[in-house]
Structures are given as structure tokens and as C-alpha cells.
Amino acid sequence: MKEIEKAAQIIRSSNYAVALTGAGISTPSGIPDFRSPGSGLWEKVNPMLVASIFAFRLRPKRFFDWFRPLGRTLLEAEPNPAHIALARLEEAGFLKAVITQNIDNLHQKAGSKRVLELHGHLREAQCMKCRRIVPTEGLWEKYLNSDEVPRCECGGILKPRVVLFGESLPKGVFLEALGEVQRCDVMLIAGSSLEVYPAAELPTLAYQKGARLIVVNLQSTYADAVADVVIHDDVAKVLPAIADMCLKSTPHT
């Protein structure tokens, strides 16, 4: 496929390539996305009623009752070939960082080292009362098998360290991501609809400073109009093909 060859050539010739990933990179791992017609999570429930910080504060049990089946899926999921392809590209020196909108930890499980999680993660929780941050290893497994709301030692509700509607992105991580965008000369956009801001603005910022864009996503995105390569296909097929082609060449440093 000529577009895959072109994408590989662009990445091979780059000085500083980064990836931006969204929910679509994890759907092959069995994790539903939020906006796909017919299957998106937000077609079944109003996110403001269950996944906003306002709803969490008012009715935390409602949030956890909604989150429980999704949480099981997230904890049990395994990286798919798309995640592994990005980790291979990083290991070979072609990819400098992965900026992700996902909270599933699959990039790290696949072996990626520099992962900037714009929307947080499930590895920690924070008490809404005393603000203590606690590691969640073993905590979610216990909670997912009960109807209880997880609580801190002080009695406060424990909130996963994920960004809910109405919350700002973690400032430090977002500033790091902006730094990567400023440095990059290639941005590989994989599995993102580019509809959720401010993450969706990152390709624009990269393009405005001269970076070349590669888009791999089932549906069209606003970045298609200015991208050097656009591939509307399964990321789990396309990214490994791009990685294979890149890795046929001399390792990149």
C-alpha cells in the first residue's frame, strides 16, 4: 500500500516524531470508545449524569455503578498490535513519545516508555476529602467485585485519577505534551477522532510549526485536510505494517 510506504518514509526521515492516540487504538483490545455511532458509550448514557466531576461529587455511587463494567474491561484488556507497533518504533528510536487520551495503561503494557496521559490513569486514586493520593493496585479488583464505593482511610470517597467532564487536564502532563508538540517534525495520529479538546488542538499546533501529519483512523478527522498521509483503516493492521517498514531500515537515533 503506497500510503503505508509513504508514512514509513516520513517517519524514517524524521528527526523527532511523536504519536497522538485516542480511543480507537484500544478498541481492538475490546475497550469500547465513546462516540462511535451505534457502539459508543455516550450513546447509552448521558456523560454529564455519570462521568462529570459535578455528578461524581453529588452521586459517587452512580458513577461507580456505571464505571464498574468498564473498569473490569480496562483492567483485563491486553495491548493489541497497534500498541506494540508504537512501542517497537520507540525502541528503535523512530518515535520519541506517545501522547494519549486513553486511561487504559495499554501503551505501557506494550512497552512504550515515554507516555503522556492527558486524561489521567487508573493506577492511583485521590481522596475527595483529605486529598491523599493512594496507589490502586488491588483496590479496583476488590471494588469491582462489590457494590461498595471505594473510600480512603479518612472516610472520604476515592476518585480515580482520571479527568472527568468539568475538570482540567493535569497541568504538568499537558505542558510536557505541548513541549513534545513544539519539538516534533512528524505527528502520527492514531485512533483519535480529534473531537475532544484541548487534546484535539495538538495536531493544529504541530502543523502550524511545520510538522508533517500522518492520520490513521477509521473515520475522517479535521486533520485529514492537511495531513501528508491519511489512512482510514484498522490501526491494528496499519501501524504494524508501518513499523515493519520502518524497522527494515537502519535503527534511528
User: What's the CA gap between 107 and 109, in Å, rounded?
Assistant: 5
> Which residue has cell 500498541?
83
The residues with which 160 forms a beta bridge, in sequence order, are 125
Question: In the chain, where does DSSP find H-type helix?
Answer: 2-12, 47-50, 53-58, 60-76, 81-91, 106-110, 139-144, 171-183, 202-208, 235-247
Phi-psi bin for 156: left (phi > 0), alpha (psi -120 to 50), beta? beta
The set of catalytic residues is: 119
User: What's the CA gap between 13 and 228, in Å, rounded?
Assistant: 14
C-alpha cell at 30: 475490546
Residues 6+ apart with CB under 8 A from 6: 228, 229
C-alpha cell at 100: 494519549
> Which residue has cell 496521559?
117
Cis peptide before 198 (omega within 30 of 0): yes
User: What's the CA gap between 239 and 242, in Å, rounded?
Assistant: 5
User: What's the CA gap between 162 and 117, in Å, rounded?
Assistant: 9
